[in-house]
Structure 1
Amino acid sequence: MRVINQGNDVVIAKQVRSAHTFFSRLKGLMFKKHFFHDDALHITPCSQIHTYFMKFPIDVVYLNVDFKVVGIEQNLSPWKLGKKFKHVKSVIELPPGSVKKTGLNTGDTIYFKKN
């Protein structure tokens, strides 16, 4: 599945993995050795993330129920707690630099599309 910015049709990630169960959300990207440049992890339900036990920084996109971007954190280092934003229902974790590269901004709306 891909994740795409609805406003400009820019592909944000080509391979989106989902974390929708308790254990998949808990594990997330912990203990992974790397994060490929076109990958993403969509975590739902989720209102805040952490990067404990991670080996690399990530970009984090916080989404409301309508998949509108309500918050962004770029290059969040390992062993940190993500910010708390209002109305967050899910989160997309991306390789560092993805937000800047794709021009994603707060207020944008994203959508998911099967490959």
Structure 2
Amino acid sequence: MVLIYSGKPIANEISYAKNIFSQMLGLMLHKSIPEDFALIFVLKRSGTVGVHMLFMLFPIDVIFLDADKKIIGTATLKPWTGHKRMKGVKYIIEMNQGTVERFNLVPGEQMTFKQTTF
């Protein structure tokens, strides 16, 4: 699976948080993640969501997507103190801090999750 933005891959290693348990855990207690890693939360329905940083050991960038996988907001959150709420969210992507800036991820732009085949 590849995460694509503006026709370019920004993550080649992807995990999904599809159930309540995996969504509750997220990246908590991980010491780090690979540079090209993304954790994608797939919510049952679009709505207002909050992301917290309790038990997180490193800062992350969070990308909020609507049901059409368009970016509706981004945030850089710090361990233990960060928190962000957003309306109209269907997908949440957590990546290493600096990803949003490095790839110039901006609201209104499209993201794609593409299955890779070998």
TM-score by length of 1: 0.90
Task: Say what the alpha-carbon RMSD is for the aligned residues.
Answer: 1.3
Runs of 4+ off more than 6 Å:
none
- The answer to whether the 8 Å contact 2:3/2:113 transfers is yes
Per-residue deviation, 1:81: 4.4
How far apart are residue 80 of structure 1 and its match? 3.1
Where does 1:1-115 land on structure 2 (aligned, <5 Å)? 1-5=1-5, 8-45=6-43, 47-74=49-76, 76-115=77-116
Question: Are the counterparts in 1 of residues 29 and 56 from structure 2 also a CA contact under 8 Å?
Answer: yes
Query: After alignment, is 10-19 or 57-66 more displaced?
Result: 10-19
**What is the percent sequence identity of the aligned residues?**
37
Aligned residues: 112
In structure 1, distance between residues paired with 2:91 and 2:65: 5
Gaps spanning 5+ residues in structure 2: where? none
Deviation per CA, 1:30-72, whole angstroms, max 9, x where unpaired?
0111111000100121822111101000000001111110000
TM-score calculated relative to the size of structure 2:
0.88
